[in-house]
Amino acid sequence: MAGAAGAGGGDQAAGDRAAGAQRLARRLRAVPALLTDRFRRVRGGAGLAAQAGLAAGLSWWAADSLLHVAQPVFAPISAVVALAASVGQRLRRTVELVLGVAVGILIGNLLISLVGVGAWQLGAIVALAVLVAAFVGRSPALAVQAGATAVLIGTLTPTMPDLEAPRVVDALIGGAATLLVTAVLLPLNPLRIINRAAGPALMLLADQLDRTAAALREREVEAAIAARDRLRDNKEEMDAFGEAAQGAREAATLSPVYWTARQGPLGRYANSVEPVDRAMRNSGTLIRRAVTLLADGERIPAAMPAAVSGLAEAVRRLRREFARGVAEPTRCRESALRAVAEAGRAYRAGVDFSGAVVVAQVRTAASDLLVATDVDQDEANRLVRSAFGPLDPPRSGERAGSGSARPEG
């Protein structure tokens, strides 16, 4: 009995060692991918790091050597704070920085003269400064700067008089250094900024459309549900895309190097955020109806998965053509209209209620993609109607009593 128990314990220990070895092996296999991701992050942040270092050094030099501000610590801090703002918001963040400092100084000096200096006085100064900043503007950055400045005024004024003017000068120097670095000395390529952010959003859309097309071909409702859930979780990708478009506009506006790019591919790319967002939402409706179609066992003409795949290909071509900065993204337009033509064939082959909605959403999403390529909305609608073909009712294969809906959009 004891020997059997010992043997059982030995087997358990051996099993634990084997499981531990497997876990270690999995972790070791994941190391190359982890390192690749980390290096990709470093490469992506190299431009920002260079801008931050240059802006901090320039602001210190200007405050210390040119304006002779004593201990101008806040100048480089202001530069980094303004630079750390989301790309596209640096000009606004600089204005908020200076405004927040002014509010903090005003409230701090006013309350110190009325109630003096102390723990509860400091709390009152900061609270009032934040409230006044909230009244002046809705930005959290403005409130943070007002509160931080109020803290400095409330704590350092007894030992460091005349702190107000240097604080404002430092804020101005830091903000000006950031704008100078980002606009003139070391501007980032706005097309590269927006490409880096738009890629994940467009690939998310294309991948889920492809997964839906495969689910329709194989009649796999679970695969369609997975695509629906993944596309629904698109906030991070679309927020990054919108923020990058705003940053591209700011860079092209502030930097003389990129002034001429505003009317070319960069301008078209920056203006595509809204139609791409609409295409994302309309594709979400398409995928939701595909789930219902599969769950209800509706008809799936061969052209329907082809239409959804064509829509995915149009999204991929949009990404590639924008990334190359082509003058006219014609290949995206051609793919979008081919998808619409397939949707028209699917409709005329015979579809049921949810199938008609899928067809309609292919049309609508394709129109959105055409608008994203700088086609006028009315012209996009005309091209979609022409590519779809006649709205003849299904001629054969219709289920008894099922009826069919005409595509919307």
Domain extent for 271:
190-388
Residue 187 contacts residue 141 (beta carbons within 8 Å): no
Phi-psi region of 25 (alpha: psi -120 to 50; beta: other; left: phi over 0): alpha
Segment among 36-45, 67-76, 287-296, 346-355 with least mean pLDDT: 36-45
Average pLDDT for the chain: 79
CA dihedral 100, 103, 104, 107 (to 10 degrees): -170
Pair (271, 292) in one structural domain: yes
Pair (117, 262) in one structural domain: no
Q: State both tokens at 91.
A: 């000009």
Number of domains in the chain: 2
Residue 209 contacts residue 312 (beta carbons within 8 Å): yes
In a domain, 327, yes or no: yes
Domain boundary residue, one of 144, 166, 185: 185
Query: Is the whole-model pTM more than 0.85?
Result: no
Give the pLDDT score at 404: 44
Residue 145 contacts residue 174 (beta carbons within 8 Å): no
Pair (109, 235) in one structural domain: no
In a domain, 398, yes or no: no
DSSP code string of 217-267 = HHT-HHHHHHHHHHHH--HHHHHHHHHHHHHHHHHHHH-GGGGGGGGSHHH
Pair (151, 209) in one structural domain: no
Report the pLDDT averaged over residues 184-188: 73
Give the pLDDT score at 408: 47
Q: Whole-angstrom distance between the N-terminal and C-terminal Cα of the chain?
A: 78
In a domain, 23, yes or no: no
Give the pLDDT score at 400: 34
pLDDT class for 347, splitting at 50, 70, 90? very high
Pair (56, 131) in one structural domain: yes
pLDDT tens for 373-407 read: 989 999 999 999 999 998 865 554 444 333 444 45
Pair (144, 83) in one structural domain: yes
Q: Which of 324, 244, 229 is nearest to 276 (CA)?
A: 244
Cα 160-167-179 angle, rounded to 5 deg: 160
Pair (179, 195) in one structural domain: no
Give the pLDDT score at 401: 35
Burial code (b: 16+ CB inside 10 Å, e: under 16) for 304-338 equals bbbbbbbbbbbbbbbbebbbeeeeebebbbebbbb
Say if residue 226's pLDDT is above 60: yes
Pair (163, 200) in one structural domain: no
Which of 104-113, 159-168, 233-242, 344-353 has maximum average pLDDT? 344-353
Contacts of 355 (CB under 8 A, 6+ apart): 293, 298, 299, 300, 301, 304, 346, 404
Cα 134-135-138 angle, rounded to 5 deg: 45
For residue 291, what is the domain's CATH number? Answer: 1.20.58
Q: Measure CA 115 to chain center.
A: 47
Alpha helices in 68-118 (DSSP H): 74-83, 90-115
In a domain, 127, yes or no: yes
Q: State both tokens at 262.
A: 């505003």
Pair (180, 205) in one structural domain: no
pLDDT tens for 327-337 read: 788 999 999 99
pLDDT tens for 255-277 read: 666 666 556 666 677 788 899 99
74-83 helix and 164-180 helix, angle to the nearest 10 degrees:
40
In a domain, 5, yes or no: no
Residue with tokens 């804020």: 171
Residue 322 contacts residue 366 (beta carbons within 8 Å): no
In a domain, 287, yes or no: yes
Residue 198 contacts residue 279 (beta carbons within 8 Å): no
Query: How many Å apart are CA 312 and CA 209, to the nearest integer?
Result: 5
In a domain, 140, yes or no: yes
Pair (105, 127) in one structural domain: yes
Pair (198, 179) in one structural domain: no
pLDDT tens for 303-318 read: 999 999 999 999 999 9
In a domain, 68, yes or no: yes
Alpha helices in 62-89 (DSSP H): 74-83
DSSP state of 157: T
Query: How many Å apart are CA 192 and CA 261, to the nearest integer?
Result: 12
pLDDT tens for 193-203 read: 777 777 888 99
Query: How many Å apart are CA 108 and CA 102, to the nearest integer?
Result: 10
Separation in Å, CA 295 to CA 53, 137, 215, 357: 57, 51, 12, 15
